[in-house]
C-alpha cells in the first residue's frame, strides 16, 4: 500500500471515529467518561481524557452565534449544525439574496436562524451588523469567522487576486472580530470565537512554509508577535506581488496568496488569545482556529475529499466546548495540531 492509500485509509478511519463522537460531547443528561469514549472509538485514553470529557451542555435557544459567509459550503453547514444543536444562529453573507435563501431553507427545517447582510471588506457593513445585533439581540455568545475566498484550483498558483484574498481572509476576520468582541456577552463558560483557517497557513509545515527563519521565529514567539508584525508581513507580500518579485520572497509555494492569508489568520488567533487572556472570570473569550480539510465545495471546485458536514464538524465542536482553558490553539479533525 502506497503513502497516498495509507493517508486515505487513516482519514476515512478518523472520519468514522468523529461520526461516532458527534453524539457524545453534546449530551445534556449525562457525563461521558473518557474510558467510554476510548471503548467506542478505540483511541488513546490520554487524548480523549483531555478533549472529550463533557458535562451538561451550557447553551440554549437564547445562545446567539454569528456565522460569516454562511450562505453556502462550510459556513452553511456550520450554521445548520449549530442551529440543530439548539442555538439561535445569525447567518451572514455578502449577497443578500443568497443569504436569505440559505437562512429560509434552515428555517423551513424548524431551526432558529436569522439573517443579516455582511460584506467583510466593507467597514460600514460590519458596523451596521454590529449595531443591528446590539439592537436586536443585545449581544452574541459565539462568532465563527468563516467568510473566505480562494481563486486557485489544482496546481494553479496565480496571485492575480492576492489583494482580495488577503483582504477577505485576514483583514475580514480581524475587522469582524474586533467589531463584535465588545458585543460578546458575559457568561460563566466564556464566549467563543472560531476562525476557519487552513494547514496551508502553518508556520512550520514541511512542504509549504515561510523560508524566512527570522520571521517564522518572530511569528511563533508570543513575546514578539504583534498586530503590526502580522500586518507588515502581509503588506510586504502584497507589495512584492505588485512588483512581481514575490517568487523570490521566500513565501509558501502552494496557493501562495491563500497560504499567506491563513498564516496571518493563525497568527492573529494566537495574538488575540493572548490579548483576551487577562479578562476576568465571567467575561472570558476563548478563540481558536481550525482546518476543515479539503472539502467538496465551490472553493475547491468540488474536488475535495470530505463532505461539508465533516468539514464543519470541528468548528462546531470548538464553538460548543465546555473546557474553559482551551484558547489560542489550532485544530483539525478535533485534534490539536501545531501552528
Residue 258 annotated to the active site:
yes
CA dist., res. 180 & res. 34, Å (int): 35
Residues 6+ apart with CB under 8 A from 252: 200, 205, 208, 209, 210, 259, 260, 263
The active-site residue out of 115, 170, 246, 258 is 258
- Which residue matches cell numbers 521565529? 217
* Cell, residue 205: 509545515
By annotation, the residues acting in catalysis are 258
Amino acid at each position: 500500500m502506497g503513502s497516498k492509500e495509507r493517508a486515505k485509509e487513516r482519514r476515512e478511519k478518523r472520519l468514522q471515529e468523529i461520526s461516532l463522537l458527534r453524539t457524545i460531547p453534546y449530551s445534556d443528561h449525562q457525563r461521558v467518561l473518557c474510558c467510554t469514549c476510548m471503548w467506542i472509538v478505540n483511541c488513546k485514553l490520554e487524548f480523549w481524557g483531555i478533549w472529550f470529557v463533557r458535562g451538561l451542555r451550557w447553551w440554549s435557544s437564547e445562545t446567539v452565534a454569528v456565522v460569516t459567509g454562511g450562505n453556502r459550503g462550510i459556513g452553511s453547514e456550520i450554521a445548520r449544525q449549530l442551529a440543530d444543536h439548539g442555538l439561535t444562529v445569525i447567518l451572514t453573507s455578502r449577497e443578500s439574496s443568497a443569504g436569505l435563501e440559505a437562512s429560509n431553507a434552515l428555517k423551513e427545517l424548524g431551526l432558529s436562524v436569522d439573517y443579516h447582510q455582511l460584506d467583510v471588506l466593507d467597514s460600514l457593513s460590519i458596523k451596521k451588523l454590529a449595531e443591528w445585533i446590539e439592537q436586536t439581540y443585545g449581544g452574541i455568545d459565539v462568532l465563527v469567522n468563516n467568510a473566505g475566498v480562494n481563486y486557485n484550483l489544482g496546481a494553479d498558483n496565480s496571485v492575480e487576486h492576492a489583494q482580495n484574498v488577503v483582504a477577505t481572509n485576514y483583514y475580514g476576520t480581524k475587522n469582524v472580530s474586533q467589531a463584535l468582541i465588545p458585543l460578546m456577552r458575559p457568561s460563566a463558560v466564556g464566549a467563543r470565537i472560531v476562525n476557519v483557517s487552513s494547514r496551508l497557513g502553518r508556520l512550520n509545515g514541511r512542504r509549504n512554509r515561510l523560508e524566512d527563519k527570522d520571521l517564522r521565529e518572530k511569528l511563533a514567539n508570543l513575546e514578539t508577535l504583534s498586530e503590526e508584525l502580522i500586518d507588515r508581513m502581509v503588506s510586504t507580500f502584497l507589495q512584492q506581488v505588485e512588483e512581481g518579485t514575490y517568487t523570490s520572497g521566500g513565501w509558501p509555494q502552494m496557493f501562495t496568496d491563500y497560504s499567506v492569508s491563513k498564516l496571518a489568520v493563525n497568527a492573529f488567533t494566537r495574538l488575540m488569545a493572548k490579548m483576551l487572556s487577562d479578562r476576568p472570570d465571567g467575561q472570558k473569550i476563548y478563540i481558536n482556529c481550525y482546518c476543515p480539510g479539503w472539502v467538496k465545495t465551490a472553493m475547491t471546485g468540488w474536488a475535495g475529499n470530505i463532505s461539508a458536514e465533516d468539514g464543519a464538524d470541528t468548528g462546531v465542536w470548538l464553538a460548543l466546548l465546555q473546557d474553559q482553558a482551551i484558547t489560542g490553539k489550532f485544530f483539525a479533525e478535533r485534534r490539536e495540531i501545531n501552528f
